[in-house]
Amino acid sequence: MSATQTQPSREAVEKSIDVVVQDVHKRAFLHKLAQCGHQAETVEEEDHLLQLGFKLAELDESISQPDPFVVQQHAPQLGKYAEADGALDQLLGREKSSEHNHIVQAAYALAQDPDVYEAALTIKQAERAQQYA
């Protein structure tokens, strides 16, 4: 990006952040909660759960800044066959875990959504403009 490109408007950046929160973060967050047995029954409940998540993340900085592309080694295995699955991956010489593959597949699918893709580009454009300001 050249220094002559303009920064997106504040409204465009806020709209882009909202798209990412609603189309990416909210879906992933609610999916994780459902895996733990907490499933919203209405859109209002989904919004309340999301707000609770944001408020809880404010209490612990480590929650709001995890690297979603790094599988935590100390994380407990999910499911009774996870250990066998991991051992078989090692035996077959596969370096990527099934969780990592799922993240890559989800990222690819989200990149195909024009609203999410445009939102990500707008946010990145604003970040770059800030660097050159």
Structural domain spans, the chain: 10-67+97-132
Phi, psi of 41 (to 5 degrees): -105, -15
Give the tens place of pLDDT for each residue, 49-70: 888 888 887 777 665 554 444 4
129 contacts: CB under 8 Å, gap ≥ 6: 1, 5, 6, 7, 8
- Return the sign of the alpha-carbon dihedral for residues 112, 20, 129, 105: negative
Q: Give the predicted TM-score (pTM) of the model.
A: 0.52
Residue 99 gets the label, from left (phi > 0), alpha (psi -120 to 50) or beta, of alpha
Average pLDDT, the chain: 76
Give the tens place of pLDDT for each residue, 79-112: 667 777 777 777 777 665 565 666 667 777 777 8
